[in-house]
Amino acid sequence: MTKRSGINTEEFSTEVRPQDDFFRYVNGEWERTHEIPGDRSADGSFYTLRDKAEKHVRKIIEKAGADSQIGALYASFMDVDRANALGTTPLELELSLIEEASDHAALATVVGTLQRHGVTGLVGYYVFADKADPDRNVVYMSQSGLGLPDEAYYREDAHAQTREKYVAHVDRMAGLTSVEFDGAAIMALETEIASHHWDVVKSREAELTHNPTTLAALAADAPGFAWTAWAEAIHLPADAHELLVAGEPDFFTGIASTWAATDLDAWKAYLRWRVVNSRAAYVTEELSKANFDFYGTVLSGAVTQRDRWKRGVGIVEAVLGELVGQEYVKIHFPAGHKQHMDTLVANLIAAYRSSITSLTWMTDDTKRRALDKLEQFTPKIGYPDRWRDYTGLTLAADDLIGNIRAASAFEEDWEWGKIGKPVDRSEWLMTPQTVNAYYLPVANEIVFPAAILQPPFFHPGADDAINYGGIGSVIGHEIGHGFDDQGSKYDGTGKLDDWWTEADREAFTQRTTMLISQYDSYSPAQLSDEHHVNGALTIGENIGDLAGVEIALKAYEIALGHPIEEAPELNGLSALQRFFVGYALTERMKVRDEALITRLNTDPHSPSEFRVNGIVRNMDAWYEAFGADVDDAMWLPDEERVRIW
């Protein structure tokens, strides 16, 4: 490997031409020889960094004292002998609550109590900034209640076999626990619940999913479910009763009707199943393994269950993520990384500014509003300025299920504590040790946790080409979400307010429709042709990818201070080639068939091969870099190339 280029050309495929399949030209040899670890459904660049972060976090956790919150929670999970000895007795509290309910109203209270204990319910909820007024907090309510990944699994013929296996799984869990529920009956009731769900495409729509309401109005509009009793059980504050936002109004009316029309005993059996399903990973090894056999193997293709220490790290991360994060950044985030990232972000924003200014399809008024939004972007890099306080959360080394109940109630109370207070702009939605990044429309902010700022995304010692192709494209992608099909509906303050002219929105839609059509035609090479990308589901991420790479390339030229063509060749690659290789390396991934099918149905991200090939074939610079022409497999006629930002 040439240290300065950050690229090992010996890993390139000798059988695939870049002009025919750029993703496999860069990653094909790795894809051919690499074996996905048995305990996961996929592997690749992101997973390499996640493994690294996981090991670092393990050391932090194991150094924590047994009397600390971190140490106690981890110890409670790692005590497998105690878990096996207790069997299902830790579930008796929730199961007894279900049995004691005498009518539908009483059972609605139980639904809320179970949710407060960490058992998933019929309705999801969380507190966040109001899309219509991003300076205040509201309670978002959304559809829930399913055991399969999405409503499509209950109705599409392609998932018939999965449905059969789910019924068998439910029956198996009933047999292992001696808790009373029946697979066929659970499937029938969940199918009814799923019939009220919106599909994944409709659920993306920012305006459609913003429906302000009140608890009183919800009870009037969706009679049949004791909403007030449920709200009391989840400890919804009285001053939040007027601050509800229904994500999918049809779901609430539908589920309330189904609740009233369905026999009480059927709902009790359903809730018993929710308890077992939610707790399976935290009781006996036998139940944990059975849970994995369906969710890990059937739905994701993993062969072996993750080591217990990895699962233990996961629960500590979920409950005490920022407490761990404080220690993580002290050890693993050099100050120089933040300074380098500040420069990268500044150049990406400058590149967007230049690009928006020069757009030919957008009117001056909308350009002005777009530039105003760009100037209001807030980048967050590494870790939060203020850490979360976990004071008041009591955890015991000998009570795992008790810890889960306590953590769930603590989290819920923390959420409720935001009601009536200004939105906390310092809050992060990811921990520093998370290998990811995000754009938050209601805050107009881009966030890059410390753990992603490592190779292959970020090479402190490499030349700028690979860094702009790698982390630069990630930065550009996240900024691009501010201007994708949904993010573009929010203004610079984070308010849901369509600031586009009708003509500009139409011009934008024409381009995004072309991109949707392109992605609709893509079918992963490893699957049969019946499995294909959903262009409408993935359009937001595809816009982010296309904008991210386009703008990162412009930012790279800004960093150079001269045309890219004048940059030196390194390791036999031009600067332009290194840039695109850097991007392709970040998307290196191999996914098991089962997991890929699930992702095609539920994930707004396209498969990696199309996050690379589907993007670069729309870019003139890629054709220039690799000399692709009309006879090559990746060739796209000029008039069919999508150019947005």
Number of helical (H) and strand (E) elements in the chain, helices listed first:
25, 9
Q: In this structure, is residue 68 part of a structural domain?
A: no
Q: In this structure, is residue 535 part of a structural domain?
A: yes
pTM: 0.95
End of a domain among 225, 259, 282? Answer: 282
The whole-number pLDDT of residue 97 equals 99
Q: Which domain holds residue 93?
A: 88-282
Q: In this structure, is residue 287 part of a structural domain?
A: no
Shared domain for 195 and 258, answered yes or no, is: yes
Q: In this structure, is residue 168 part of a structural domain?
A: yes
Q: In whole angstroms, what is the distance from residue 322 CA to residue 432 CA? A: 8
Q: In whole angstroms, what is the distance from residue 543 CA to residue 513 CA? A: 11
Shared domain for 373 and 509, answered yes or no, is: yes
Q: In this structure, is residue 71 part of a structural domain?
A: no
Distances, alpha carbon 582 to alpha carbons 8, 51, 347, 553, in Å: 11, 21, 18, 11
Q: In this structure, is residue 574 part of a structural domain?
A: yes
Shared domain for 439 and 560, answered yes or no, is: yes
Total number of domains constituting the chain? 2
At residue 496, φ and ψ (nearest 5 deg) are -70, 100
The whole-number pLDDT of residue 2 equals 46
End of a domain among 282, 308, 342? Answer: 282
Shared domain for 51 and 167, answered yes or no, is: no
CB-CB contact of 5 with 571 (8 Å): yes
Per-10-residue mean pLDDT for the chain, 645 residues long? 70 96 97 97 97 98 95 98 98 99 99 98 98 98 99 97 99 98 99 99 97 98 98 98 98 99 99 99 98 98 98 98 98 90 95 97 97 97 97 98 99 97 97 98 97 90 92 97 96 96 97 98 97 98 98 97 95 96 97 98 98 99 98 98 96
Shared domain for 433 and 498, answered yes or no, is: yes
Q: In whole angstroms, what is the distance from residue 325 CA to residue 380 CA? A: 15
Shared domain for 276 and 325, answered yes or no, is: no
Shared domain for 360 and 275, answered yes or no, is: no
Task: Give the number of other CB atoms < 10 A from CB of residue 188.
Answer: 14
Shared domain for 237 and 337, answered yes or no, is: no
Shared domain for 466 and 363, answered yes or no, is: yes
Q: In this structure, is residue 544 part of a structural domain?
A: yes
Q: In whole angstroms, what is the distance from residue 355 CA to residue 72 CA? A: 52
Give the CATH number of the domain where residue 49 resides: 3.40.390.10
Shared domain for 256 and 329, answered yes or no, is: no
Shared domain for 273 and 368, answered yes or no, is: no
Q: In this structure, is residue 60 part of a structural domain?
A: no
Give the CATH number of the domain where residue 114 resides: 1.10.1380.10
* DSSP assignment of 493-540: TS-B---S-HHHHHHHHHHHHHHHHHHHT---TTS-TT----HHHHHH
